[in-house]
Amino acid sequence: MRVVFVLTVFMLANAANGIVAQADDAAMRLGPALAQLRDFARGQGEKIWPGYGMAPFGFLLIGSTQETLLCRDDVPDGFVAAGRDAATGCTRYTRPRSGLPDTLLAAMPLFGPPTTIVMGTPRTTGRSAADWLRTILHEHFHQWQMNLPDYFARSEALDLKRDAADSTWMLDYPFPYEAKSPRRAYARASRALADALAARGTPRLADAFARFIRARMDFAARVSARDWRYLEYEQWFEGAARWTEIALGKIYPDAAVRDAAATLERRTLEQLRTPDMARQRRELVYPFGAGEFLLLDACDTDWRSRYTAQMSLAPLLDAALARCQTRKAGPSPAAD
């Protein structure tokens, strides 16, 4: 029995050492990955979203025993300098592991503005290295959004936070996900959106787009004005981030990241065909919102210049539909 016990302890110790080594390895690889991402954001990212490349890029990696902070000028209490990262040129700071879960994939004003990306390692988040890198494109878009001059004032004005003191209101908002009438209306709208996306590049697009808008309006009518304002905001916020993750991921220098982005796009379209609001809950905003942005692209490639005007997709969708319908009608007859 003693031999078995010693062998078991030896195996567990090796496993634990392996986990720590993987976390340390992820921390060492973080600098080169961020450096490549920052260069890409400043090049290709700027072409899609002006300011995306220059948005703050602070990153907190949650390892098994410690947390590593890179590329943040205002360093919170509790962190100590751990040398300069050669790839990014940023000072690396560390602290012992806090209570943050190592499954996080988020961007939040954890230490106050500017917003920091907070992520576990690929292993602890259950993502491949390519999916993990692609996710940073998504979270950096949130850094760009929350760095807009009036972002926090405008989000406060939506009156959605109730008593929440932080950004958890986005996750905890009591939307009626299980109510029968909204569930059915959402399912119709989601499938209508999938149909409209399938009609891209065909003469059917304008009519399919209009059917989707009618289904979307019916969905809006099934919930309160406040609930719909929440969903509009979440689609504006998360839908655009997923669209960006796909659009930039598909042109990323790493072929594995490009493949991961193409897979995410296919999965997004499949999710629109199999809607279940009670099961998806807040997760529905990712495929539904991204699908709406993909539809915008089909009719109005200039929508990004108006994206920040309102925290809602409705004006953008209306303008894109009008362009699609005008295009379908063709040029006006010449005057005699």
Domain extents in the chain: 30-146, 174-329
Tell me which DSSP letter residue 333 carries.
P
In whole angstroms, how far apart are CA 135 and each of 117, 119, 125, 181, 281?
10, 10, 11, 34, 21
- Per-residue confidence at 31, pLDDT binned at 50, 70, 90? confident
Residue 24: pLDDT above 80? Answer: no
Residue 156: pLDDT above 80? Answer: yes
What's the confidence (pLDDT) of residue 18? 40
CB 101 within 8 A of CB 89: no
Phi and psi angles of residue 94, each rounded to the nearest 5 degrees, phi first: -135, 160
- Per-residue confidence at 116, pLDDT binned at 50, 70, 90? very high
Residues 290 and 148: their CA atoms lie apart, in Å, by 21
Residue 8: pLDDT above 90? Answer: no
What's the confidence (pLDDT) of residue 231? 97
Higher pLDDT, residue 216 or 334: 216
CB 71 within 8 A of CB 87: no
Q: What percent of the chain has pLDDT over 70?
A: 88
Give the type of residue at 49: W
* Strands in the chain per DSSP E: 59-62, 66-70, 80-84, 91-96, 105-108, 116-120
Residues 327 and 24: their CA atoms lie apart, in Å, by 55
Average pLDDT, the chain: 89
List the single range of 21-35, 101-115, 116-130 with lowest mean pLDDT: 21-35
- Per-residue confidence at 214, pLDDT binned at 50, 70, 90? very high
In whole angstroms, how far apart are CA 124 and each of 16, 37, 96, 100?
14, 21, 17, 12
Compute the average pLDDT of residues 144-162.
91
